Structure 1
């Protein structure tokens, strides 16, 4: 079976986009519903926030995308690549929400990317193309 690099690249970018959308929407929903209080008024503020519905839509999109990718991609690299959203959320939170980035966070992001590259490289060196059984 021939490699489907374009399918993988587009699929994992879409997955990362949906996951990132979900995380950022949850953060914005929390900010919109402040101050936190475990009471019905707070739950109504959360339920009335459009950001909550963006997060739900993001999770649904991520689920469908991930299940579609798992039909074709090897599980190890697919699972690892699904965690790229940690890196994208970190970067977009700093840029859009003005959150501070620390050196350990940046180091962790680099390690995540390196881990995914190592797994992808290991699949290629096994003599199998990603997606081959």
Structure 2
């Protein structure tokens, strides 16, 4: 079951990250933003928007599959790990600045996920000991 969680959350992270990075790329290629059919045509003329759609669909299917089995607390927390991955990719790919506050926030997200994972595994061990 742990392999299911690891693969599932890795897929969710990959799909969410793909979605957000592709939206950024599609937006960059469709500038300037304007309410016109020309702008909509620019958006849909780049493959990045289709990568974003694939990311959304993949994330949705993966999330629904994970919710059947994963505890909701750690699952919900881990589903927000894309904030960290997108921040890192934005720094690397788009040369966007990363502030100390963002680094502190990313560390807090990761620490929270780790704490929830340990708490959940401790509860499982306790419930297994009580039932045996």
Q: What TM-score, normalized to structure 2?
A: 0.91
Note the 1:1-133 alignment, pairs <5 A: 4-126=1-123, 127-128=126-127
Q: SS of the residue aligned with 2:31?
A: coil
Moved over 6 A (4+): none
**CA separation of 1:70 and 1:27: change in aligned 2, threshold 3 A:** same
Query: How far apart, in 2, do the equivalents of 1:128 and 1:73 lie?
Result: 16
Instruction: Tell me the number of residue pairs that the alignment of Structure 1 and Structure 2 aligns.
Output: 126
Q: Tell me how far apart the structure 2 counterparts of residues 103 and 36 of structure 1 sit (CA, whole Å).
A: 31
CA distance in 2, matches of 1:66, 1:122: 21
Q: Could you report, residue by residue, the CA deviation over 1:42-89 in whole angstroms, capped at 9, with x for unpaired residues?
A: 111111121110000001001111111111100111111000011000
1:17 shift after superposition: 0.2
Q: Deviation of residue 128 (structure 1)? A: 4.8
Tell me, in whole angstroms, the C-alpha distance in 1 between the residues paired with 2:122 and 2:32: 52
Distance in 2 (CA, whole Å) between partners of 1:115 and 1:33 is 37
- RCO higher in 1 or 2 (8 Å CA, sep ≥ 6)? 1
In proportion to residue count, which structure has more helix? 2
CA radius of gyration, larger in: 2
TM-score in terms of structure 1 length: 0.90
